[in-house]
Amino acid sequence: MSEVQTREKTTNMRKVALTSLAGTSIEWYDFFLYGTAAAIIFPLAFFPQDLPPMVLLIISFSTFAVGFIARPLGGIVFGHFGDRVGRKRTLVVALMMMGVATTLIGLLPTYDSIGLAAPLCLVLLRFIQGLAVGGQWGGAMLLVTESAPADKRGWYGAYAQAGAPMGVILANLAFISVSASMSDEAFLAWGWRLPFIASILLIAISLYIQLRMEDTEAFKALQAEQAASPQQAVAERSPVFEAMRRYPRRILLAAGAFLSVQVTFYILIAFVIAYGLNSPTVDLTRDELLVSVLVAAAIMMPAQFYFSGLSDRVGRKQIYRWGAILTGIWGFAIFPLVDTGMPIMITLAVTMGMVLLGMQYGPQAAYFTELFATEVRYSGASLGYQIGAILGGALAPTIAVLLWQELGIIYVSVYILVAALLTLWSLSQLEETGGKAL
Q: What is 194-263 written as a DSSP string?
A: HHHHGGGHHHHHHHHHHHH----HHHHHHHHHHHHSHHHHHHS--HHHHHHHH-HHHHHHHHHHTHHHHH
Encode the chain (438 residues) as per-residue pLDDT tens digits: 566 556 666 667 777 788 778 777 877 787 778 777 887 888 888 888 888 888 888 888 788 778 778 878 887 787 777 777 766 777 778 888 888 888 998 999 988 889 889 889 988 998 998 888 877 777 778 878 878 888 888 899 888 888 888 888 888 888 888 888 888 888 888 888 898 888 887 677 767 765 565 555 555 565 566 556 555 444 356 777 888 888 899 999 999 999 999 999 989 988 998 898 888 888 788 788 888 988 999 999 999 999 999 999 998 999 999 999 999 999 999 999 999 989 999 999 999 999 999 999 999 988 988 888 878 888 888 889 888 988 888 788 889 999 999 999 999 999 999 999 999 999 999 988 776 776
Question: pLDDT value at position 360?
Answer: 95
**116 burial class (0-12, 13-18, 19+ CB within 10 angstroms)?**
exposed
Through-space distance between the first and last CA atoms of the chain, rounded to whole angstroms: 20
Q: What pLDDT is recorded for position 353? A: 97
Residues 6 or more apart whose Cβ sits within 8 Å of residue 144: 16, 17, 20, 156, 157, 159, 160, 365
Nearest Cα to 44, choosing from 254, 206, 185? Answer: 185
Which among 130, 139, 112 has a CA at the least distance from the CA of 63? Answer: 130
d(CA 113, CA 122): 14
CA distance 114 to 94: 29
Burial class (CB in 10 A: 0-12, 13-18, 19+), 333: middle
CB atoms within 10 A of CB 281: 12
Say how far apart CA 401 and CA 395 lie, in whole Å. 10
Measured CA distances, 29 to 23, 32, 305 (Å)? 10, 5, 19
At 235 the pLDDT is: 38
Give exposure, 202-224, as e/b (b: 16+ Cβ within 10 Å).
Answer: bbebbeebeeebebbebbeebee
**What fold, for 9-212+234-429?**
Growth Hormone; Chain: A; (1.20.1250)
**pLDDT at residue number 286:** 79
Largest CA-CA distance found in the chain, in angstroms, rounded? 71
Which pLDDT score is estimated for 21? Answer: 82
| Residue 11, pLDDT score | 67
Helix (H, G, I), strand (E, B) or coil at 283: coil
For the chain, the domains span 9-212+234-429
pLDDT recorded at residue 345? 95
CA dist 275 and 405 (Å) reads 10
User: What pLDDT is recorded for position 94?
Assistant: 81
In sign, the C-alpha dihedral spanning 278, 284, 286, 290 is: negative
Going by C-alpha positions, the residue among 166, 160, 159, 158 that lies closest to residue 138 is 160
Determine contact, residues 349/141, Cβ cutoff 8 Å: no
132 Cβ contact partners less than 8 Å away, ≥ 6 residues apart: 27, 74, 94, 95, 97, 98, 101
Which residue in 148, 111, 110 sits closest to 17, CA to CA?
A: 148
Decide if 259 contacts 389 (C-beta within 8 A): no
How many residues are given for the chain?
438
For residue 196, CA distances in Å to 2, 136, 312 come to 47, 18, 37
